[in-house]
Structure 1
């Protein structure tokens, strides 16, 4: 897969997210902020031939690269890439799955030169300004089909904030995978599945109740090799597994 025109390259977070998705017969998928197109391609691989995959990307060079990658794949007829910002994107129908590996780095509150050397494209790809959690959840709430799902990732440290932001749009966590780099490190990522539910659902569970059920994925074992759990999850997308 080509990625030379993209500010953000293919990364482990996206591979975990795409591998973890349960398509459950989805016929329509939207990848928001597709970058290289990796998640759109993974969704094409995981769904049947009748599923339509749409992808949007605000950066023109990245959108063209995602389009090129899709055209070189065997799913080219099922993937459409649009160079468009989320706030102006007007889909014709709702989606069974909306998926996104959104930018989630906040601007630093301390003096730093860390962001000064970033290209404008990489800065946009990493910072929340162009796709805030609120914008993502609001769009998903309006554009996910009945029974459909929003899949996304956010830092573990922002768990309470993210889940409360989703609740504001009546999106509830129905499953979550907590990710650690290795057995000695603290969790760094939450991989979410959100779905819309009525506020008065008797069987809806609180955030605290869900937190007790979150499984954990450790990427590397004590030998710094990929863990067996990581291999099982991502095997369909890693040739070396």
Structure 2
């Protein structure tokens, strides 16, 4: 499907290396955007996470960045065609370059659905290589720079595989970011979680709160939890 129609916006994903997926829409639906005025989406792809956050918080101003030219162009067009276009800006930069070019930018919330296949085999297609593969240095740089560019009570939220969670939690602590929430994503109640939405905060001593999020009640039937989270976005609910 080239154009994905949401209730309040549409997303054209033609030629984008990373299409709309479960990880992205769950981050967009579950990230804590309340009271967050300045928001940054790292690796915006089609722009779907930024658009969802803009719909959820009408006071937010959102910067989005992507290193891929096609993603940058698609996100820009998707933003421009939305009701929230005046609060969304997209930049064709890596996050390292973006922060270097904007050293005074601070954000109340930074979100990312990052590449995460550490040390895995590379695909043949260069775009997918960039979009889906990385190494530990990527996360070291991300956590270090995000810690410098979060506002006093700012938060970073990432969706990552379970086996990467401990790495992120430990790296975050090295840079003054305390992991305060982990939402463990499961396909079914009796299955092991396959993703974690981690919330890392500055200047806090809050303990880690863990909770489960189940996508399916049974085969081909979404859970009430999933339908509630996505009802304002998906036309099927």
Structure index of larger Rg:
1
Q: TM-score, normalised by structure 1?
A: 0.87
Give the number of aligned pairs: 224
Which of 40, 64, 77 is equivalent to 1:68? 77
Deviations 1:116-167 (A, max 9, x none): 43x1111110012497221111111000101111111111122222210111
- Partner in structure 2 of residue 43 of structure 1: 53
Asked if the contact 1:102/1:131 (under 8 Å) is kept, the reply is no
- Which aligned runs of 4 or more in structure 1 are off by greater than 3 angstroms? 114-117
Q: TM-score, normalised by structure 2?
A: 0.89
- Partner in structure 2 of residue 154 of structure 1: 160
Query: Gaps spanning 5+ residues in structure 1: where?
Result: 109-113
- Partner in structure 2 of residue 191 of structure 1: 197
SS state at 2:40 partner: strand
| Alignment CA distance shift 1:15-1:72 (3 Å) | same
Deviations 1:152-191 (A, max 9, x none): 1111122222210111101011111001112342111100
Which of 169, 180, 186 is equivalent to 1:174? 180
SS state at 1:132 partner: helix
1:223-234 pair list within 5 angstroms: 223-234=219-230
Task: After TM superposition, give the deviation of residue 195 of structure 1 in Å.
Answer: 0.4
SS state at 2:222 partner: coil
Task: After TM superposition, give the deviation of residue 115 of structure 1 in Å.
Answer: 3.3
Residue 102 (1) aligns with residue 114 (2): yes
Structure holding more strand per residue: 2
Residue 77 (1) aligns with residue 94 (2): no
- Partner in structure 2 of residue 115 of structure 1: 122
| Alignment CA distance shift 1:64-1:4 (3 Å) | same
| Alignment CA distance shift 1:95-1:115 (3 Å) | same
- Partner in structure 2 of residue 216 of structure 1: 212
Asked if the contact 1:170/1:196 (under 8 Å) is kept, the reply is yes
- Partner in structure 2 of residue 22 of structure 1: 32
Q: Distance in 1 between matches of 2:179 and 2:149?
A: 17
Q: Distance in 1 between matches of 2:186 and 2:206?
A: 27
